Structure formats: structure tokens, C-alpha cells
Amino acid sequence: MITNYKMTLPKQLIFALALVFTVFLPSTLCDLEVGFYNSSCPTAESLVQQTVAAAFANNTGVAGGLIRLHFHDCFVRGCDGSVLINTTANNTAERDSPANNPSLHGFDIIDTAKSAIEAVCPQTVSCADILAFAARDSIALTGNITYQVPSGRRDGTISNDTEASANLPAGTFNATQLINNFASKNLTAEEMVILSGAHTVGVSHCNSFRNRLYDSNNNSQVDSTLSPAYATLLQSLCPSNTDQFTLITTALDLTTPTTLDNNYYIGLQLTLGLLTSDQALLTNTTLNASVNSFASNQTLWQEKFINAMIKMGQIEVMTGTQGEVRLNCSVVNSASSAGFGSYLVTLFIDVPVQIEAADLKVGFYSKACPSAESLVKQAVATAFANNSGVAAGLIRLHFHDCFVRGCEASVLLDSPNNTAEKDAPPNNPSLHGFEVIDAAKSAIEAKCPQTVSCADILAFAARDSITLTGNITYDVPAGRRDGTVSNATEALINLPAPTFNASQLITNFKGKNLTDEELVTLSGAHTLGVSHCTGFLNRIYNFSSTISVDPAISKPYASLLQSLCPQNVTQFTPTVTALDLISPTVLDNKYYVLLTQSLGLLTSDNALLTDANLSAIVTDYANHQKTWEGRFAKAMVKMGKIEVLTGNQGQIRVNCRVVNKGTGTEQGLESGPGSDQFSRVASS
């Protein structure tokens, strides 16, 4: 954790921006362009530079804070300025996540720079670009390193504290966790080591490294990879009872805490890394080699640090007409405020549902493409007539879409190197229904070219599948737009695993603003469809070191599953079994009835009985099918609004499997980590 480190320096040094290292890059990258504001606001970058220099003159610690602020912005929703947004009465923003509060600083400097720019060029320069410029200027002030920043980013309108906790690498991460976390942002293991070098400036709160000094009972227990002398010093500074809000801090780099240099790596070699995640770089052979290389060659690290910062600054950026240019960096513009936190509204409305929220509207295509919903319905009905199993596939396809990047059809995108969401282990080979969406899209395109989004088609198809299997119908608010990025690692991070316990399920659904009741309600979709053996293998073989079979599963049922699934099956073994033994093709409440009889198939199914609150809801639904049906329709509508793109955001794909040409975002499909990295994430 980097926060303000105050140290007085001669003022003449503040302006000594010696341009020692200048890296020349292609001027245009992923719709970002060096000199983007040359015509529209030529003084933008100089105004940011002046603001940062003035703040640095009063407190040199602001530099570390601004570099970290940019990093924490880019790792959550991409570099879209969402970290700058304030919390509201209805939403806790990223900046108030434990990962950011109270340690993150520099907001006031961005606000000052924004005010100066707005006075000259109203609503022209995005907060995301201001933050990228400020980080670059901080690097110049502390390391005599300068580089050109490609700009043209747009500002996001959503900021959620749980997403910060889910996406930011923790100070307690080990090497594998760090590698996987950075891979999910399309950053290599070497780039992870390079960017970690920013810990050569700034300070950390005691709470971030107390795990290396004390055990859970606050007794002294020092990490063996930490210098004993350093540990003693830290214990004298930080008593065992410190917490997140204890204001005591210490420098991350003991030797040059206000200079951006390679002393961070030298400190690691001397077992003087402060955080678990710092010292973890020595526990992996490849990472350790990079540390040694940078410790012995500062120029090499500085050059690579520039390139890594520029690459990081391109993570999932919004450009063109996506997002907005905020007037005030801490508040979304009033005209677009429906996009911020609007998916937090809980919908308690009797079926059929009539709503207009999050810029979605029932009957959205009534004029632009009046036959859209009926064409989807026909495509689903035709497929269902040939194979009733497509219904469960389409419902699950909608769920898996909404839980990764929101309901914007990223799950439908293909990737030439198998790194899209659909290629992730939670989706491949089990996810189905893509061809039904393709058929519906083709029929609609013939009638209404580039009018109806793939995201809306998928929402309609899920609703029609529910009607076919459960005789439940509801109105689907539409107006979603299609996303342009699909990454397999994000599916691994965001989708609830079949091995999740109750606490993990609750946390996962809460991250999508779904309640405990809605978790249990939506789990009822498991009354349809099948599961591959690997989804429940952990329950029937080697359940623990002393027990072979999960005692919570019916013994006869376990024996049946063992006869069906030998112990050596893999993810791609085609054997499947029904999730609901009683009525596997009917959407009803039998799923809940089976849970009460120890006949839930997955760990995550049975987990609903291990929490008193969740178990009470299971019992209620097992006894009252109509109650569940009504709530299920409402929960589907609410889920269908998770982080939707609307208005000018995203695009309307011509082909649901491919982003439109000429958008400059096709690279988003190819930028993920390789399949070997997916395997490592999956196994962890």
C-alpha cells in the first residue's frame, strides 16, 4: 500500500525534470493517441503537470499516491476514472473499499487539475486521462523518467467497492495469485515484477504487513523470509492490535523512499521486502530472475517500467462515444447518472414485471424492430422442439454472461486463440445455446439490420426458455448494448464455482448486487439441465483426508454417481447427469425438494442448507412453488440489468460472435493469457 510520504526537498529539485529516459512509441494504440488533445485542449497536459508539481512541492509523497491511484483505477473496470467517483447513499464506491480506504490518496490533486482544465476546455478532457497524465508526471518528478501518454480515454459511470476487492492484488498474495491476477489484465509475469517496482516510492499502513509479524491471536510470529532485524523494527513500530484505520505507516523502500529507482529490488534480495506480495517475487524462479536482473540494471528496469505503465494504461479503456467526459471527477454527469448504481435498485414488483430502469425499457424495439421478440421466440421454440435441453443452456448462457462484465453478450464472442469467456473452464465444454442465438440474430438482421443487440437477444431467449419449461412469463426490459472485450480469466474470477460454500456464494452474488434471497431464488434454475462429472467429483471421491464421500450427500445417490463417473474423468469427459432427479426438463420447485432430501448434486447446491437464512428460504420454496416462481421472474429481470451498456456505450454487433470491424477493439478478444495460464488459475 502506497500512501503519502512527507519529506522536505529543495524547491529547485521539484522542477528538475531531466529527460533522461524517453521512449518513443507508436502514436496510436487501441484508439488512444499521443497528442489527443492537441487541437481540442492544447494546454491539458501542461495544466496537469503544473498541478502535480505544485502539490509535490508541498508534499513529495503525493507522487507515490498518484501512481498507485492510476494503478488501482486501471485494475477495476479498466482505466476509466471509476476510482475517483464518490460513494452515494445507494452505492459504496471503489475508493471506499478496504483495498483503497484509507490508504489511497491524490484525489484532491486530480480535482484541482480538472478544475483548471474545465476553466479552459469545458467537458473535453476526461478524468481518466488526467489521472494517466498525473501518474506520468509523478514518475518524472521522482525518477527523472518521462514518456508520452496515449490519451483519448472516456470516463466510466459505475464504481463499486466489491469490484475493487475482487480485482486488486492483495498485499498478502503469493506468487501464483499475483501472476494470475496480472494475467487477467493481460499483463505478463515480467510486467508484474516491473510494475511492482513502483513500491520503491511511498509507504504502507501496518495492517498491510501485520500478517508477517503476528499470528491470528496477536502473538509474535515472524515470517521466516523477513529479515529478523527488520521484523523487530516493524514490531516496535506497529503493535499487534493495529487495524485498517491505524494511521501508522512505514516506507516501502527503506533506502530511497521518495525516489523511483531500483532499490526496491535490492531490498528484496536482502529480505527487506515489506509486504508478502513483495517478498513473493523471490519464491518463483522466473520472477526471481527478473528481480535479480532489475537489481543489477536500473536503466533496464526504467525502460521496461515506462512500457509497462503505458500498457497498463490501456486496460479495458473506453473510447469514442463510450462512457462520458465527467464535469466533476468525483460525480457522474447528471444526464448519465442512471448508469451509476442504477443496477442497485431491488425490484419487488408482481409478475408480469413492468419496469423502466437503468436505461432499459419494456418494448424498447416496438418501433425500431417490432418483430424482434417474436423472432427470438420462434428460434428458441424451433430449437426446443429438436432438443428440450437447449432451454437450460440458454438460461445458463444468460447467467454466465451477466456475471462477467455485465449483461453485454461478451460470453458470445469467439477468440482465434481460445482466450474468450466461452473458452474458460467454467464454460467449456459445458456451455451451450450459442447456435440458437446465432439463428435468432440472423433472422433479426434480415429484418432490422444492426438494430437489436446480441445482449437483448440473449435476455429474450432466456425468458422464452423459462416460459417453455415452466410456463412462467414476464416482460424483459431491453435496450442493452454489446460489449467488445471477452477474457477467459475474468470468467474464472467472476463466476461462482460449483465447489463454493455458502459464504463464498453470498459474497459472489453480493458483488453483483444480488441478495441472499436472490441467490437461493436463482439457484432454482438448477431444476433444469445437467452437469459434467467434474462439477461434483469432489463430493464422491477423496472428500477429505479421512472421508471419501461427502456425508451431506445421500449414500445411495453417491453410489449411483460413482458408478456413472469414474475417478479419472476430466473436464472434457462427455458423461453428464441431471441436476434434478425428479423433473430435469421442467422448471419447478423440485430442486428445493431434493435439497431437503440430501439429493443436491453440487457442493454449491448443498451449501444452501448450511446457512440458517439460506436454508429457511430453501424450505419455503420447497413448500410453495408459486412463491418461488414469482420471485424467480423478478430476480431474472434484476440480474438482466447487471452493469448493462446503454445509449452510445458499446455497439450493436452484426454477428454475435465477432465485434464489429473498425471499432478498434477487436484486440480485446486476443489479449488474454494463454490456456496454460487458465489451467493454473482453474487449479488454484
CATH of the domain at 584: 1.10.420.10
* 70 labeled part of a ligand binding site: no
pLDDT, the chain, mean: 87
Q: Which of 301, 63, 96, 283 is nearest to 196 (CA)?
A: 301
The three cell numbers of residue 157 are 459511470
Per-residue pLDDT, 30: 53
Q: What tens digit of pLDDT does each residue of 68-104 get?
A: 999 999 999 999 999 999 999 989 999 999 999 988 9
Q: Which of 622, 638, 657 is the last residue of a domain?
A: 622
Per-residue pLDDT, 356: 37
Mean pLDDT, rounded, for 296-304: 96
Residue 672: inside a domain, yes or no? no
Beta bridge partners of 21: 145
CB 359 within 8 A of CB 644: yes
Same-domain pairing of 61 and 146:
yes
- Assess whether pLDDT exceeds 70 at residue 18: no
Mean pLDDT, rounded, for 452-464: 98
- Assess whether pLDDT exceeds 90 at residue 9: no
* 243 labeled part of a ligand binding site: no
* 81 labeled part of a ligand binding site: no
Residue 465: inside a domain, yes or no? no
**Residue 500 class from Cβ within 10 Å (0-12 exposed, 13-18 middle, 19+ buried)?**
middle
* 253 labeled part of a ligand binding site: yes
Q: How many domains does one find in the chain?
A: 3
Mean pLDDT, rounded, for 187-191: 97
* 199 labeled part of a ligand binding site: yes
The three cell numbers of residue 199 are 513500491
Q: Which residue has the higher pLDDT, 493 or 245?
A: 493
The three cell numbers of residue 564 are 456413472
pLDDT band at 25; cut points 50, 70, 90: very low
* 94 labeled part of a ligand binding site: yes
* 256 labeled part of a ligand binding site: yes
Mean pLDDT, rounded, for 427-437: 94
- Assess whether pLDDT exceeds 90 at residue 59: no
Q: Which of 313, 333, 368 is the last residue of a domain?
A: 313
CB 33 within 8 A of CB 76: no
Residue 209: inside a domain, yes or no? yes
Residue 307: inside a domain, yes or no? yes
Q: Which of 579, 600, 622 is the last residue of a domain?
A: 622
Maximum mean pLDDT: which of 1-15, 20-34, 71-85: 71-85
Same-domain pairing of 179 and 279:
yes
* 273 labeled part of a ligand binding site: no
pLDDT band at 670; cut points 50, 70, 90: very low
Q: Which residue has the higher pLDDT, 346 or 362?
A: 362
Query: What residues make up the domain containing 148?
Result: 33-164
Q: How far is CA 154 from CA 79, 157, 352, in A?
A: 9, 10, 37
* 82 labeled part of a ligand binding site: yes
Distance separating alpha carbons of residues 675 and 428, to the nearest angstrom: 12
Same-domain pairing of 234 and 110:
no
Q: Which residue has the higher pLDDT, 465 or 662?
A: 465
- Assess whether pLDDT exceeds 90 at residue 302: yes
Same-domain pairing of 213 and 285:
yes
Same-domain pairing of 299 and 177:
yes
Beta bridge partners of 324: 155
Same-domain pairing of 520 and 586:
yes
Per-residue pLDDT, 627: 97
For the annotated catalytic residues, the residue numbers are 72
Residue 267: inside a domain, yes or no? yes
- How large a percentage of the chain has pLDDT more than 90? 72
pLDDT band at 352; cut points 50, 70, 90: very low
Same-domain pairing of 611 and 497:
yes
Same-domain pairing of 263 and 157:
no
* 73 labeled part of a ligand binding site: yes
Q: Which of 584, 589, 416 is nearest to 486 (CA)?
A: 416
CATH of the domain at 54: 1.10.520.10
Same-domain pairing of 105 and 198:
no
pLDDT band at 57; cut points 50, 70, 90: confident
